[in-house]
Amino acid sequence: MTNKVLLYFRQEEEKEMNKHSLQIIGLLKSHHGVWLGRYGGQIVIYHPIRAQEMIIYHRLMTHHSLPTEKLEQPIILNAR
């Protein structure tokens, strides 16, 4: 193969990889600890503390479940 063909395939491969990778744009100065990035064709906001909360939530939901049972009489909730 010629160098032009190899270069073309390499560029196409890089484009495909960039579609599915997070590219950091920078830190938002107005919001402490919040990062702005690009994922595919979208602009995304990444907040590390919220990401940790999501991980903990999903771990808890995966490994801990509360037993449920059907009530004979439904509990009626009234707005006050």
- Quote the CA–CA distance of 55 and 66 in Å, as a whole number: 19
Quote the Cα angle for 76-78-80, to 5°.
160
pLDDT at 72 exceeding the cut of 90 = yes
pLDDT value, residue 55: 92
pLDDT value, residue 48: 87
Sheet of strand 42-46: strand arrangement = 22-27, 35-39, 42-46
9-67 tens-digit pLDDT = 777 777 666 666 788 889 888 888 898 988 877 888 888 888 899 999 999 988 888 88
How much is the CA Rg of the chain, to the nearest whole Å?
A: 24
DSSP structure string for 25-40: EEE-TTSTT-EEEEET
pLDDT value, residue 56: 93
pLDDT at 1 exceeding the cut of 60 = no
